[in-house]
Amino acid sequence: MPGDRDPLEILLKRQKVLANFADSAFQSEELDEVLQDVCRLVAQGRIGKCVSN
């Protein structure tokens, strides 16, 4: 079940996604492409708020 996932596993996966995004963003010369990528990742829930109340 999705709720049974280890919080550390989730955090590590998000960090990997964010690191991969940052790497591609630094190499890109197109701001529109970078913004589209980050919007797609946020919409998919792959990056975003990691801390719960």
Determine the pLDDT at residue 53: 39
- Is residue 11 helix, strand or coil? helix
48 belongs to a structural domain: no
Q: What's the DSSP call for residue 20?
A: H
Q: What's the DSSP call for residue 5?
A: S
Determine the pLDDT at residue 48: 72
**Distance between CA 29 and CA 23 in Å, rounded?**
12
Q: How confident is the model at residue 50 (pLDDT cuts 50, 70, 90)?
A: low
**Distance between CA 53 and CA 13 in Å, rounded?**
20
User: pLDDT by residue (tens digit) across 1-33?
Assistant: 456 778 899 889 888 998 999 999 999 999 999
Q: How many domains does the chain have?
A: 1
8 belongs to a structural domain: yes
Instruction: Give yes or no for a contact between 47 and 20, defined as CB atoms under 8 angstroms apart.
Output: no
pLDDT at residue 39 is higher than 80: yes
Taking the model in full, what pTM does it have? Answer: 0.68
Determine the pLDDT at residue 11: 86
Which residues form the domain of 36?
2-43
